[in-house]
Structure 1
Amino acid sequence: MRHLLLVRHGESLWNAEGRIQGQSCAGLSPRGHEQARAFATAYGPGLLLRLEADAGAVRVVSSDLQRAAETAEPVSSWLGAGVAHDPRLRERAFGRWEGRSHAELAASEPDRYRRWTTGADVMSEIGAETATELADRVAPTLASLLLTTPRGGVTVVITHGGSIWHGLHRLLSLRPRSLGPVGNASVAELLLLGDEEEPVAPDEGATGGNGGPVLPDPAVVRPVMASFNDLAHLPVELRTGGFVTGTTSDAVPQMR
């Protein structure tokens, strides 16, 4: 069995200000750093035991955006392991909405903002990455990370709410909007069962028609989701996002 722990980054400075981040690099807020340390404290001991039993059993992979990289630091320090930074795990590119606050958008673009908060994919209207494009990028990446996790091993993936939300919908073939919001520093756990058959990951040197790496088809990878938006490791005062505060931005998972 192979494990994938999907962790949303801790609260960022722009999260705290109610701003849309996309691929802009806002670092963690003080509370975000506390959330990252709380995740490491809760999960670090178990991961370290696995690592001590098998040096290749645990790895940490993070989006290369600052808020995710900072979230990865405490758990990587606990394990004494490095972090692999993967740009495929970035949040959606939000086009001209990046850096703007939800309150500002609600006032300046009320119709488009309302349509977005009620489920419409308006991303092409603002020069942003669409839901399909985001899922096309993230789901094969998650499938590849699962397939390259050693048998009995764990890959800790520090990424973003939108990437987790859209990636899981595609990877698990879920009906649209099946999942709720993704809280800061929350954990979703995926299990890849069937150890009697060793999955084969694509050759690292292989390239597709566009010259990029060949990634597995998410449709042929069948993981089980053991948990989603798990915040049990966080004290109540450190829980943000995931319907905790009741704000508009909490209510729309794609806003991450």
Structure 2
Amino acid sequence: MARTVYVVTHPEATHHVDGLVGGWFDSDLTADGRRDADAVAEELRARIPESVAVEVYSSDLLRAQRTADPIAARLRTATVLDPRLREKSYGEAEGRPQHWLDDRFVAPPAVGDRLTHDEGLRGAETREAFARRIYAAMDAITAGAVRHQVIVTHGFALTFVIAAWIRMPIQALGYVNFAAGSGSITTLREDDRFHNRQLAELGDVRHLGLR
């Protein structure tokens, strides 16, 4: 039996509308975000047969938990919280106005060492440290035998969830980016014969309608 992993990026959060830096800043979903989380839950219930076992994993940040809760309820399971699925930490910039970060951010070089680049923000994670904790989470999540799983995470974190799924070496992550909107569903699959892994669909938001 093939394995399918649905990766959900949390919908609109308060830091989005307030113009604040997210990262580990523990913002909540907005009213629109909560409606979108319900829409995600309904879509996943329609995609996953009721007769099969399913696991739901989530970042422990509030906006991700609020997204995972209706999903787990509709799928009749519990949410497993994993802090390794958090967004990248922006250190001292978290919770501050976005322009505060923009004024201080040191962009990575076009060539050279992008993985351990210092962005000029005290306490911020490097790209490599961020990737390694997401990879560790994915190793743990995919170690079991359950064939239907849901992972609720964040927009930037999605890139490394996908990269971990396809076994991209960490040393090759300097430039990779898989962009998807808030409240999106990305579908990952592994076939049961060759055990090839694919990115079957990136950032589907059709369940959100026109919003």
User: Residue in 2 aligned with 1:25?
Assistant: 26
Alignment of 1:97-116 (within 5 A): 97-106=93-102, 108-109=103-104, 112=105, 115=107
Q: CA RMSD in A?
A: 2.5
Q: Provide the C-alpha distance between the structure 2 equivalents of 1:97 and 1:103, rounded to a whole number of angstroms.
A: 10
Of residues 179, 182, 191, the one that matches 2:180 is 182
Pick from 121, 125, 128 the counterpart of residue 129 of structure 1. Answer: 125
Provide the rounded CA distance (Å) in 2 between the counterparts of 1:187 and 1:30. 19
Cα offset, 1:64, TM superposition: 1.0
**Mapping of 1:47-58 within 5 angstroms?**
47=48, 50-51=49-50, 53-54=51-52, 57-58=53-54
Distance 2:118 2:17 in 1: 24
- Answer yes or no: is the 8 Å Cα contact 1:3–1:146 preserved in 2: no
Cα pair 1:169 1:176 within 8 Å, conserved: no
8 Å CA contact retained: 1:23, 1:93:
yes
Residue 125 of structure 1, CA deviation: 4.3
Q: Does 1:226 align with 2:193?
A: no
- Quote the Cα distance in structure 1 between the aligned partners of 2:145 and 2:189: 11
In the alignment, structure 2 segments of 5+ residues that lack a partner are none
Distance, in Å, in 1 between the alignment partners of 2:12 and 2:87 is: 14
Contact 2:21–2:101 (Cα < 8 Å) also in 1: no
CA distance in structure 2 between the aligned counterparts of 1:139 and 1:25, rounded to whole angstroms: 22
How far is the alpha carbon of 1:155 from its aligned partner? 0.4
SS of residue matched to 2:57? strand
Residues 102 and 62 from structure 1, CA distance in 2 versus in 1: closer, same or farther, beyond 3 angstroms? same
TM-score, normalisation: structure 2: 0.84
Greater helix fraction, Structure 1 or Structure 2 = 1
Query: What is the CA distance between 1:156 and its match in structure 2?
Result: 0.6
1:140 is displaced (CA, Å) by 3.0
Equivalent residues in 2 for 1:1-256, closer than 5 Å: 1-47=2-48, 50-51=49-50, 53-54=51-52, 57-106=53-102, 108-109=103-104, 112=105, 115=107, 121-123=117-119, 125-150=121-146, 153-172=147-166, 173=168, 176-195=174-193, 223-237=197-211
Would the alpha carbon gap of residues 118 and 21 (structure 1) be closer, same or farther in structure 2, given more than 3 Å must change? farther
From the superposition, tell whether residues 117 and 163 of structure 1 become closer, same or farther in structure 2 (CA, over 3 Å): farther
Query: Identity, % of aligned pairs?
Result: 26
1:231–1:177 CA distance, 2 compared to 1 (3 A) = farther
